[in-house]
Amino acid sequence: MYPLHPPVAVFPLGRIAATASALVALTKFEIAAGLARHVKGDWGDLRKKQRKANDRALDNGSRISSSYITKSGRRFLIVTEADRSETTVLLPEEPEPAKRPTSRDSLQCMEPSSFERESFTPEAAYSSRRTAEEGKMEQLELFMSNPSNRPLRQRLKSEPQEWKVISLRECPSPESLMLMDRPAKAVEYWNRHIATAPHYNADVECVAVLVLTTRLRIRGHYLVSVGSLNEAMAHPREVFRIAIMAAAHAIVLMHNHPSGDSSPSTADASLTRRVREAGELLRIDLCDHIIVGHQRYFSFKESGIV
């Protein structure tokens, strides 16, 4: 989350925009950090005179300007309009946005900006002005208080969404491993693609499901849960969730024992029974439940339990 509205904000930022050059030169984290300092009254590396001008602007409603330097040494500016309707992020070599008069009488008496910037050539100024004006400074949606412009009560309401199954990564396997007709093949698939996944943790019990076709050929797998040291947190609802969406004909339930002992516990037998009963209702066969240990495994099917 970006620190846009800290609890000690001393003035509103309004609509937040950035020039195209600023978006190229700065990261969104650097912009967010600058905005967080700006809105709290931290004016960055401004001179003492400019800091006092900003402090007075908080009372008399004038334009506020601040300057910050990133860790990489890149300097950038943040300017908030007098009416607090807009805040702009730009680079020092770019011209500041034209001041917005607060009334019709003030059109002829706009004050020049008190912010001291580095000098630049007319050609650079023209190029920067084209970037800022013709390019229309891009509004940062990440920092908008209401990006959708909808009432807050409506935005907080959950909206219906369209769902589909997408694959996370490819798991290339030899043809000899495609047919899951023996527990040893499922264990080999586990060692190839599940135990080597970045989100797998061998120090705790992890539950995975292999999705099979009508010919018991593997279509893929998904990790159901990452449990604790001696407990695999799984429910038939989570076991069959992706299997149903992936149109599975059958599944193989698998989990590991960090201790290395693949002997089933009472909880493992209970989980197998509940998953098998749920599969009978869903017409999705539970082909096997395999517990993977160190250089050994336990198959509920080979043991005659499934």
Same domain assignment for residues 88 and 204:
no
Task: Specify the pLDDT at position 301.
Answer: 93
CATH of the domain at 273: 3.40.140.10
Is 118 contained in some domain?
yes
HSE-CB at 195 with a 13 A cutoff on CA atoms is 17
Name the least confident of 57-61, 70-74, 93-97: 93-97
Q: What is the mean pLDDT of residues 82-96?
A: 88
Q: Is the pLDDT higher at 89 or at 157?
A: 89
State how far the Cα of 94 lies from the Cα of 16, in Å rounded to an integer. Answer: 17
State how far the Cα of 65 lies from the Cα of 53, in Å rounded to an integer. Answer: 9
Is 107 contained in some domain?
no
Same domain assignment for residues 19 and 142:
yes
Same domain assignment for residues 181 and 118:
no
Contact between 34 and 6 (Cβ < 8 Å): no
Same domain assignment for residues 52 and 142:
yes
Same domain assignment for residues 29 and 74:
yes
Is 155 contained in some domain?
no
Measured distance between the N- and C-terminal CA atoms of the chain, rounded to whole angstroms:
48
Is 9 contained in some domain?
no
Same domain assignment for residues 280 and 184:
yes
Read off the pLDDT of residues 175-194 as tens digits, 9 standing for 90 and up.
999 999 999 999 999 999 99
At residue 197's C-alpha, the angle toward residues 165 and 256, to 5°, is 100
Same domain assignment for residues 238 and 288:
yes
- The model carries a pTM of 0.50
Phi, psi values for residue 65, rounded to 5°: -130, 140
Task: Specify the pLDDT at position 8.
Answer: 63
Q: Is the pLDDT of residue 233 over 50?
A: yes
Question: 3-state DSSP call for residue 23?
Answer: helix
Same domain assignment for residues 95 and 190:
no
Is 160 contained in some domain?
no
Q: CA torsion sign, 156 to 157 to 162 to 168?
A: positive
Read off the pLDDT of residues 6-52 as tens digits, 9 standing for 90 and up.
446 788 888 898 898 888 889 888 898 899 899 888 999 898 889 89
Sheet of strand 250-256, all strands in order from the earlier edge strand to the far edge: 218-226, 206-212, 250-256, 285-292, 297-299
Amino acid, res. 34: G
The region that residue 13 occupies, defined by phi over 0 for left and psi between -120 and 50 for alpha, beta otherwise, is alpha
Read off the pLDDT of residues 115-158 as tens digits, 9 standing for 90 and up.
444 433 444 444 444 444 444 444 555 445 455 555 544 555 56
| Number of domains, the chain | 2
Domain hosting residue 186, numbered range = 175-299
Amino acid, res. 245: M
Task: Specify the pLDDT at position 130.
Answer: 43
State how far the Cα of 207 lies from the Cα of 222, in Å rounded to an integer. Answer: 9
Same domain assignment for residues 52 and 127:
yes
Is 41 contained in some domain?
yes
Q: CA torsion sign, 177 to 180 to 182 to 187?
A: positive
Same domain assignment for residues 195 and 276:
yes
Same domain assignment for residues 23 and 140:
yes
State how far the Cα of 56 lies from the Cα of 51, in Å rounded to an integer. Answer: 9
State how far the Cα of 191 lies from the Cα of 302, in Å rounded to an integer. Answer: 20
Is 165 contained in some domain?
no
Is 270 contained in some domain?
yes
Same domain assignment for residues 190 and 287:
yes
